[in-house]
Structure 1
Amino acid sequence: MTVSPAAALTARAQEVSSEIVTDILTLVRHETGSYDLPGLAAGLDLLRELAVHRLGRPDHEQRHPGGECGDTLTLTYTGTGAGHVALVGHYDTVWPTGTLAGWEQPSVESGGRAKLSGPGIFDMKTGLAQGIWALKLARESGAPVPTVTFVFNGDEEIGSLSSRPVIEDVARKVDVTLVLEPTAHGAVKTARKGSGIFKVTATGVEAHAGLAPQDGASAITALSEFVLAAAAVAAPERGTTINTGLISGGTATNVVAGQATASIDIRVSSESEQDRVDAEFAAIKVSDPRVRIHVDHAWNRPPMTLNAASAPLLDLARGVARAQGRDLPDAAVGGASDANFVAALGLPVLCGLGAVGDGAHAQGEYIYPDTAPTQTALIAGLLGRLAQPVHDGATTS
């Protein structure tokens, strides 16, 4: 009985599943919080070593200094077939160094399905390991593979402030970008909200809170008014959410606060909503005219939709999945990623090819380790398909 290439690839991924999981845990055990520069540097060294161990030395590599952010590393492996594909993933996590020590593993779910947990395991160190193994398995299959450029960045969780130009430059030079962010319960992500982090600064007038409170103008009171008004700008029915996540101000309890700041997370589904939020934030007034309000309208990522360039790529991925005996749904999600940047350029991109699990940015985030080989095989199969010349559109069966 002849075994199809898709079945052989899936079977091989199952054979090495324990090694894939070992590599995932190796990355998780080294903490890489977004603000820990020494930890990020060591974590990127570890990630590079893992890639070299599994794939050999790259044909080209460059480490792009991140300044106050983690560095970005690009590794290019020349292929044997047509095409050039970027595999993009971030190695930074939201978890500060020291989190791992108190992290508890979840109990086995009812039905006996195992879970693995750890800071960053879902978002998104599993995707990094799966991406490396996908190229390894695609090579081992003997079929042509495209040239692959890995982009590993260490600042995605704080806005990709230094890595965005690198990601956009690579995306312009390749045929397709695949982002190894976690799945949406097994679905790839074809639409993401745009995001902004607005910093609001209130500057008031200090005064003694007991002797002359009337001489003061409280920045904290004014900022509180602003935050409540900002929350009212949200329109969940239109995909717009607003969350004030950080607030600080004042110098002492007996001093009318002279300054206060708030950081506000904003998510939008369209550019029109982005324009509306800008206008409504600019129109907010506070009751005490002595307090000055300054709003830094810092939009970080544009909204992502399934553009015309990406739709054939989704069809291609679904064809690969069908050949491997599974369906591949797609989903729209509220979180933003580096795929937003690529989509905004009108270039083909598919996001959410990484881990299957849940709990991003939450204590107890987890993956289902039994899905690691199937996800790896999907990426490997997609790489193989992308190495073939396109004849009749980007579809396969």
Structure 2
Amino acid sequence: MLDDIETLVRCESPSSDHEAVSRSAEVVAEVGRRLLGVEPERIVVAGVTHLRWRFGDGPPRVLLLGHHDTVWPHGSLETHPFSVRDGVLRGPGCFDMKAGVVMALHAAATVPDRDGLSILVTGDEEVGSPSSRALIEESAAGCDAAFVLEASADGGALKCRRKGVSHYRVEVVGRAAHAGLEPEKGINAGIEIVHQILVIAAIADPEAGTSVTPTVVSAGTTVNTVPAAASVAVDVRVWNEAEQLRVDRAMRDLRPVLEDAEVRVTGGINRPPLEEGSSAGLFELARELSGELGLGELASASVGGASDGNYTAGMGIPTLDGLGAVGGGAHADHEHVVVAELPRRTALLAALVENVLAKRGPSGATKSAGESGAARR
């Protein structure tokens, strides 16, 4: 596993470079071919390369979901070289989430009967999955479970609840004028965008855990010109669908404060929330299996970040996230993976796949053949 993780980490794959992502996909395909004995489908959408393995003749019932793109730019290996030292693995993208991809492939390789299993490794998760969302939803449709190989939360906790994400861009159209000769003839888009930022920030509801955060702001062209245009990007995080819809309505209801200024709102809901109910049954099964395997007590966590598991949960597919590497520092200089946890978590993942394919529920009982057939129908 360490060798395979090193192979993936050493193939840099920033999301924005489609050629690099394509090269990375070939590296992942080679590892998967060696472990699983079959070639994946190579699915290229809008220039981005995704990989999918499907086993059996019937519809998939379990989806292993991961991504091989990273946030790290080219050259990151020079400043953050791959290493394994004192039980800790380091390297750009190791924690988020090339180790998770390797874990998925190794876990699947140990499952004796893979009939009904599907593995999807996408190439654009870090930028919001614009080309892979439809593929994710197609691959998850009708599944009994989606297991997401994103890295764990602190201390190895599984991610049983994730905030939904919305992204907006608010643009203001004003009118330019000379700032010294006749500023009164202009419509100052900079002032208008400030009014809008104050309104936008007030949409947040901290008690409900809803954040509405103005981020990148731009206005004006030269120091002696009344700005004719301005914009602000807005990041929204919510725990439930009702809040996501409330914020969406409020954003689309923005109106200009200055006379004759125009306000335009684009963007919208990116990922629905992964609500706790989507993970509850699978988490209980994971706890039971962890005990049976002697892996200790599992914890659950709620996190503000989103993943492709938000999409599967939004479809109503039972989804358990954070099954990947234990470590920390995603997207940061101290990104790392705890080596000792790799085989332990991979064993847990393999057990989850086997048990769901065998129709074992969180009560620990395996359904009868008749019940399994009824469930599939």
- Taking structure 2 as the reference length, the TM-score comes to 0.88
CA contact (8 A) 2:163 2:274 kept: yes
1:125 match: 98
Partner of 2:374: none
Is the contact between residue 172 and residue 230 of structure 2 (CA under 8 Å) also seen in structure 1?
A: yes
Contact residue 201 and residue 262 of structure 1 kept, 8 A: yes
How do 1:35-54 and structure 2 match up within 5 A?
A: 35-54=16-35
Amino acid at match of 1:90: H
Are residues 1:191 and 2:161 paired? yes
- 1:154 paired residue number: 123
Q: Is the 8 A contact 1:180 1:354 kept in 2?
A: yes
Q: Which digits, 9 at most, give the CA deviation of each residue in 1:92-124, with x for residues without a partner? A: 12222233322268997xxxx643332221111
Map of 1:73 onto structure 2 = 51
Aligned length: 364
Cα shift readout 1:49-97 (whole Å, capped 9, x = no counterpart): 1111222114xx43222215x2222112349x99732111011122222
Q: Which residue of 1 aligns with 2:177?
A: 207
Cα shift at 1:271: 1.8
Among residues 120, 128, 136, which one is paired with 1:167 in the alignment? 136
Residue matched to 1:234: 204
Match of 1:344 in 2: 314
Q: For residues 343 and 353 of structure 1, what CA distance do their matches in structure 2 show? A: 15
> 2:68, 2:181 → 1: CA distance?
53
For 1:102, the aligned partner's letter is: T
Query: What is the alpha-carbon distance in structure 2 between the residues aligned to residue 208 and residue 218 of structure 1?
Result: 11
The structure 2 residue matched to 1:296, chosen from 258, 263, 266, is 266
Cα 1:147–1:95 change in 2 (3 A) is same
Q: Which of 66, 69, 91 is 2:68 aligned to? A: 91
User: Which letter does structure 2 place at the counterpart of 1:71?
Assistant: T
SS of residue in 1 equivalent to 2:233: strand
4+ runs of 1 displaced by more than 6 Å? 104-108
SS at match of 1:209: coil
Residue in 1 aligned with 2:346? Answer: 376
Seen in structure 2, the aligned counterparts of structure 1 residues 38 and 394 have a Cα distance that, compared at 3 Å, is farther
Unaligned runs of 5+ in 2: 367-377
Summarize deviations over 1:218-260 as a string: whole Å, max 9, x none. Answer: 2223223322331222222211112233233432233222222
- TM alignment of 1:360-371, pairs within 5 A: 360-371=330-341
> 2:372 maps to what in 1?
none
